[in-house]
Structures are given as C-alpha cells and as structure tokens.
Amino acid sequence: NRYRLHCTGSNLQGEQVGPNRHPPPRGGALPIATRGADRYFELKSQIHRKLIGVLNLERASSIPKDRIRAEIGRVVERLLDEERVPMTTAEQTKIVEEVLDEVLGLGPLETLLKEPSISDILVNRYNKVFIERNGKLSETAVRFKDDAHLLHIIEKIVSQVGRRIDEAQPIVDARLQDGSRVNAIIPPLALDGPCLSIRRFGRHVITQDEMVAYKTLTPGILRFLSACVQCKVTVLISGGTGSGKTTMLNALSRFIPEEERIITIEDTAELQLQQRHVIKFETRPPNLNKEGGINQRILLRTALRMRPDRIIVGECRGAEALDMLQAMNTGVEGSMSTVHANTPRDAFSRLETMVMMADLEIPTRVILQQLASAIKLVVQVSRLQDGTRKVLSVSEVLGVKDEKVDLQEIFTFERIGVTDAGKVQGRFRATGITPRLLERLRISGVTVPPAIFEEVVPVNL
C-alpha cells in the first residue's frame, strides 16, 4: 500500500492512493510476544512498520524537522491507541520517542549521541553496548532488537555518506553529521554479529586554557609548543588509540597564523581547524570492482599543486609517509601529522616501515636522513589508567646517529603512583636541556622564557 502525507494545521493523516483505496487497518491488537523485553521490542517494531506504511518519506524529508517530529508523534500516538495495549503515559511517551528515533535518527543510539560527555560508543553485539565517559568504559542498558535491527542502523549510517556495507564489503569507515568517526564490521568477518564503534568529536574544540586546567600539559610546555607551531616547526604527534592525538592536533592548530593556507588530508574527516583558509580532503575507498579509490598519496600530490603553506595529515598509516616527507622537505614546513606509536623512537620506526611500503627500494640510511630532516619535534601523548590524557614527552630531533634518529627529551611526565581515589600521581618535569630550536624561534622573532626549561609541576601529589 502507498500513502500520501498530508500536513494540515497540526494534524497528520495517511490516505491510501491507488485502485484499492481503503483506510488504514484499525482496531484489534496485533499478536505480540508475551514476555517483557520481547513484547516491548515487538510492539515498537509493529508501530514502526505501520508508520512507514502510512508515511510518504520523500514528502516528509522536505518538511522542517521540528514540525515533522511533532506530526509523526501524533500519528504514533494514534497507532498506539489502535493496538489497544494498556500503557502508562510515561510508557507511551517513551515508545513515541523511540519510534521517532528509529524514523528520524539512529534508533537506540540517539539517547547516547545526545550525551556530550560520552566520547566513545561501542556496540559489541546487538545486546551489548558500552560507552566511554571520562576515559572509563561502562556497559549501558541500551539494546537493539536483534542483529537485523543493528545492521539496519549501520546501513543507515553508511548510506548517508555514500558508502555501502554488505558481504562483499563487510568493513566500512564513515562519519556522522557531527563529524563523529564510525567504523563497522559485519559477518562473515564479525563472528558474533554486526559490530559498531563511534568515536565522538564534540563541536567544541578544546582550548589551551582547558588543556592546562585538565593537566594535559603545563603552561610552560604549551608556551613552547605554541611558539614552535607559529614558527613552522614540523610536529609529529605520537600515541596509542584513544590517547588524544587528534584532540592535541586540533588544539595546536589554533596557533597557526590566520593568513596561512592550510590543506588537511584524512581517511575520515575528524579535524576541526578554526582558521578561515582551510581546504579539506578526504580519501575514498574503491568500489566493488576495485576502481575509483583515492588514497592519501594521491591527495598529497594534489595538495602540493594547490600552493599550501601547511599540510596536515590526520593520520599517517601507509606508503603516503614517503610523499609526506618529500612535501615537508620541499618547502611545506610547519606541517603536522599523527602516528600510532608507544614512544617517540617507536614513531620513527613505524614511519620508516611505512616509507618502505612504497616499494622504491630506498636505502635505510636515506630514509632516516629524510625523517630527521623533515620532523623537528615529537609530542608523545597517552591515556593513563585513570582515564586522563597527558603529554608524556616532548622530544627534539637532532639528526641521525649510529643509524638511528637521534632524539633529546625536553619535557617529560614522571608517574609516581596512584591516589586512594584512583588518580595517577606524578609530575611534569623539564629535563634541563635547552633545545636547539630556540635559535630558530629567536630568528623568527618569537621568544620563550628560559625558566620553562627548568619547571617542575606536580600532579595529584
């Protein structure tokens, strides 16, 4: 059956069109399961199906969201009355909201997406949903009806960005409208059913004052890093998954002068740069015929033809490391990127391996020289056991020594213990070494107080 959507005043009516015209079925409760959760899911599913049958979704999409939400809410209430199921006002309000979320949003995920304090949503199975809040994981009461329900929500997410997920392409990266990063994997690769993870990125970009207040770093470290960014020192941010690399990159990008032209290159758009002269590139996966894919290497080469002052690569994870190094060594100074690594030295080992992926048979010695020449500063970030993110190390690159990239640590965070409340104890400490970069900063007209290279700032002591 096909129905037209009529919005007249505050009433929404469904009218069937076609040769067999008759009103929607009324009266008589539909057969539903008798047990609590199953009964609730079945009732909600039937209301959802009847609502889809009544609505002309193409017409609904052209109506303002607030208005269509109110109109659909009235139709859901009418359909609930037809089911003749005894419900309290609170229960009816809840089911109306959840059906609206199914039609206009992402179903059970909507309640979690409305909470700004949640940084990660992790759906292990349709009946196991976890969240991360303040760096700590916890299970929620949110549930999907079954695997098919979860798969429907995943398909809804990926279709919004022009991608698809099925047995032929069972892994997909996508993003939500607010910029949150989505990764999904389905059977046959996921043995227990569809699996979904959402990395939230709030619209609020953390400020330098907030970073200091959260004790992510000290005012002295921030002063040094801001000076380096202003003076086009190439910075690499290293850390593990969820350590805050992208957040740090966003924060440091605030210190890039407003008049500079910036090009960002990412697999999934996450960066939230505040400058007005920003061009954003995003990779594209190949289609089912293995055609049409655009990777970071191609985008990097394109960026070099567009007169960038700086190139920011969201995350370096493959052969594009070679093109990035060449860009940094051929005039695009002050570029930034992130890499997954546990220490600054491991970061260079990973970059060396990535350059080798280009299959150009470049000698190791040449790769190391390119790395040491391109990257001048490594910022190591980490998420500690109490959920807080901290800058563990700021290291300067000196060159190549004994076939290794030579590093000297300028600032470090020393962990001492844990308080009774579970908070990590320690101190930010300057190593006392004066970085060679100070001369470059001086020539550029930026001064840094010498006292910051002697500061010690305790945390939870």
What confidence tens digit (pLDDT) does each residue in 324-375 have?
Answer: 787 777 778 888 999 999 999 999 999 999 888 877 788 888 889 989 988 9
Question: What pTM was estimated for this model as a whole?
Answer: 0.74
Q: Tell me the pLDDT tens digit for each residue of 393-411.
A: 999 999 999 889 999 999 9
Residue by residue, DSSP assigns 260-282 as S-EEEEESS-------SSEEEEE
Cα radius of gyration rounded to whole Å, the chain: 27
The whole-number pLDDT of residue 64 equals 64
Residue 387's Cβ-side half-sphere holds a number of Cα atoms within 13 Å equal to 12
Between 227 and 17, the higher pLDDT residue: 227
Average pLDDT over residues 430-451: 92
The pLDDT assigned to 181 comes to 85
Residue at token pair 């060159």: 399
Alpha-carbon distance 254 to 272, whole Å? Answer: 10
Span 211-232, mean pLDDT? 93
Nearest-angstrom CA–CA distance, 205 and 358? 35
* Pairing mode of beta strands 310-313, 262-266: parallel
What's residue 21's pLDDT? 39
Structure tokens at 371: 């790395």
Mean pLDDT of the chain: 81
CB neighbour class for 85 (10 Å; exposed up to 12, middle 13-18, buried from 19) = middle
One DSSP character per residue, 5-34 reads EEEETTEEEEEEESSS--PPP-SSPPP--S
User: What's the pLDDT at 263?
Assistant: 92
Three-state secondary-structure class, residue 220: helix
Take residue 431 and report the two structure tokens written for it: 């190593």
AA letter at 179: G
pLDDT of residue 129: 94
Any bridge partners for residue 237, and if so which? 338, 379
Would you say residue 31 has pLDDT above 50? no
Whether 235 has a pLDDT exceeding 90, the answer reads: yes
pLDDT at 195: 95
- Give the end-to-end CA distance of the chain in Å, rounded to a whole number: 69
| Rounded Cα gap, residues 100 and 263, in angstroms | 39
For residues 201 and 19, the model is more confident at 201
- Flag whether pLDDT at 96 surpasses 90: no
How sure is the predictor about 145, in pLDDT bands with cuts at 50, 70 and 90? confident
Quote the pLDDT of residue 143: 87
